[in-house]
A = this chain, B = another copy of it.
Amino acid sequence: MKTITINDVARVAGVSVSTVSRILNNKPDVSVETRQRVMQVIDDLGYAPHAGAQGLAGGRTRSLAVLYPSEHEFTGTEFEFFLGASRAASKADYLFHLIVEVISEQRLLNLFRSNQVSGVVLMEILLNDWRVNVLQEHGYPFVMIGHCADNDGLSYVDFDFEAGVKLACEHLIGLGHRCIALLNLGGLTRPDEYGPAARNVLGYAQVCAHHGMTPIVRTVSPNIEAAYQVTEALIREYPDLTAMITLLTSPMVGVFRALQDHGRSVPDDFSVVGIMADDNAELLTPPVTAVGIPAYTMGYRAAQLLIKKLTTESYRERQILLPPELTIRGSTAPKK
């Protein structure tokens, strides 16, 4: 199980190590014939360059990490993000690290200092995020899924939550609803600092203002029970309420159950639009009319962007805001 090195390849192929190195790194100045012969030997010997040594000598690392600082409560959409990022990584022959953990400044910096990754994708971005400041200060490459209050000189991929909520709200208004509540994201991180939560309220408030409706906003942790209780309280407090916009999957289930327990049937007596992964929207009963969160795409493009940043000489920062799309399923109907 002795490691096969570049020396072995060179010796067997009857060339020098530098020639082999050139071939490995697709450098010019190597005859077609030599290249073929060496490639053959590499294949025969089952040689693969030692990544650590490459990193040492060359500096590069060909590996990136996604940082998802969540501990206990999850949204059910995580895998799609990671899958996307992982696919983009392996397509570019990068190794994909996943760190699902609230990370310290120490550990974040050490990821780079120890040369374990050459860049990171940050998730769960706060409006004012210390990770962004730290990485920027040290000049370590990163891309965000989500965005801050100030994004000058930063690259990100995000879903346009504001437009998403608007779209959801206008769909309900188009169906005749005039008393619509928003069940907003909460609990995952500091709510006042969490961008999507703020942007949801923004979009919702605008549509309400435009149509002369009173905004009704509640915030819940992403679990069934919390949403159940808030929904109960809402329908008690607002007898005219005929529709809701809900974020994520678990809360949606809580809403459904509360409505059912209080004799409101969906969609006949009550309409609900979700902002959630389309996969999950299909699973529920009734299937949920929803604005899909394009998690796979977000993960994919973020990793792709990061790799471009790492490999392109004259990279310029890009900010990608994915537009919402509404899919009408079975949880909304005209107001009676």
Contact = CB atoms under 8 A, between A and B. Distances in A.
Interface of A: 1, 3-4, 46-56, 61, 63, 74, 76, 78-79, 82-83, 86-87, 90, 95-101, 109-110, 113-116, 138-139, 224, 249-250, 253, 256-257, 279-280, 282-285
A250 B283 contact: yes
A99 B86 contact: yes
Contact of A285 (B115, B116, B282, B284): B284
Q: How many chain copies? A: 2
Nearest to A79: B79
A96 B97 contact: yes
Contacts of A54: 52
12 contacts: A3-B115, A46-B109, A48-B109, A48-B110, A52-B115, A63-B116, A78-B79, A82-B82, A82-B98, A86-B99, A90-B101, A96-B99
Given A100-B86, A101-B90, A1 B48 contact: no
A283 B253 contact: yes
Contacts of A109: 46, 48
Nearest to A70: B83
Contacts of A139: 1
A335 B128 CA distance: 58
A300 to B, nearest CB: 12
Contacts of A48: 109-110, 113-114
A51 B97 contact: no
Given A1-B138, A90-B101, A46 B82 contact: no
A51 B116 contact: yes
A264 to B, nearest CB: 15
Given A56-B50, A56-B56, A113 B3 contact: yes
Contacts of A224: 282-283
- Ranked nearest first, the 9 interchain pairs of A and B with the lowest CB-CB distance are A52-B55, A52-B52, A48-B113, A48-B110, A285-B285, A79-B79, A48-B114, A51-B114, A78-B79
